[in-house]
Amino acid sequence: MRPETADSLHRLLVEQLGPAVVQRLAPLGDRTTYRVGGAAAVLVEPESVDHLVVLSSTIRGAVEQGVDDVEILVVGRGSNMLVADAGFHGVAVALGEGFSNVEIDDTVVHVGAAAKLPVVARQTASAGLTGFEWAVGVPGSIGGAVRMNAGGHGADMAASLAAVEVFDVAAGDKRVLRPELLELGYRTSAIVSTQVVTGATLQLARGDAQASKDEISQIVRWRLDHQPGGQNAGSVFTNPPDDSAGRLIDVAGLKGQRVGSAEVSVKHANFIQVDPGGSADDVFALMQRIIAEVRAHSGVTLHPETRLVGFDGFAEGASAPA
């Protein structure tokens, strides 16, 4: 999106939604757990589906008038995203607190897409429900977890999803989708870039509140013992079939390898840590080095689990270049 297009779109959206909802050149890297990277050309923080309707209508009207295509990026808690230092030249959508509801009705849980996974895990455990304890160790949002079918400790979103509410910015419509339509797989789904997950329905089971709380404590302790802290975005690469990305990186001798401000964690090889004030481009360069060296050492090509935003020649969701 050209700067003049961003200026025009920003002006139109501010007129309809207000400056508290719409920003121009808003820091985006700061919204990720890496805490590095550039700005979004336009950032919209809707508090309701009505705000999304206005956003959709404005973008579709601009496109009909002949502006260049407007790329959409949905941002959750930023726990699985790396934004290039050059930023994102489109419209980033980050759902506001209006989408953070958690409503428990017997064993059915209705959650907004902005709700934090650890919060939902603890609330459902306290309500005597089981099946979502694993989520306490994932610092993301419900929406992001649906999009990538997040998981851990032997479970994932697919195991408890009953329905998903999605708003398509390109089409301007809202749908409720059954899980079988989402094509949920290992860290993948059929959700596309123009679709904003606005909420989800979870089907959990009756359990024992204290047992669930104990399990949550064990998960938290395990994460502290086995995963690094600092500025990182969790697992960088998906695990190949019947193997571990961390093991492959480790046996290739890459623990502690560094590119500028980015380093392969010495605690867990499938984590990259970045120095405060560091560079997203350093992280990306280190990812490319890891891919090349693991391929040379073991013949396996690793694929990013991290969402890569704004890197030229590397479309979001694509595998690394050979």
- Structure tokens given for 296: 């040379």
Q: How many residues does the chain have?
A: 322
DSSP strand pairing (262-264 vs 155-156): unpaired
DSSP per residue over 185-221, as a string? BTTB-S--TTEEEEEEEEE-EE--HHHHHHHHHHHHH
Strand-pairing partners, residue 185, are 188
Q: Who's near 279: CB < 8 A, 6+ residues apart?
A: 36, 85, 260, 261, 262
Scanning the chain, the segments in alpha helix (DSSP H) are: 3-17, 49-64, 117-126, 142-148, 209-226, 245-251, 280-298
CA dist 122 and 139 (Å) reads 13
- Structure tokens given for 40: 């979004």
Q: Determine whether 305 is an active site residue.
A: yes
Residue tagged active-site, from 56, 79, 235, 265: 235
Residue tagged active-site, from 187, 189, 212, 307: 187
Query: Taking Cα atoms as reference points, which of 197, 203, 202 lies closest to residue 182?
Result: 197
Residue tagged active-site, from 45, 133, 215, 305: 305
Asked if 27 and 87 touch (Cβ cutoff 8 Å), the reply is no
CA dist 70 and 49 (Å) reads 20
Q: Determine whether 175 is an active site residue.
A: no
Q: Determine whether 217 is an active site residue.
A: no
- Which sequence positions are flagged as catalytic? 187, 235, 305
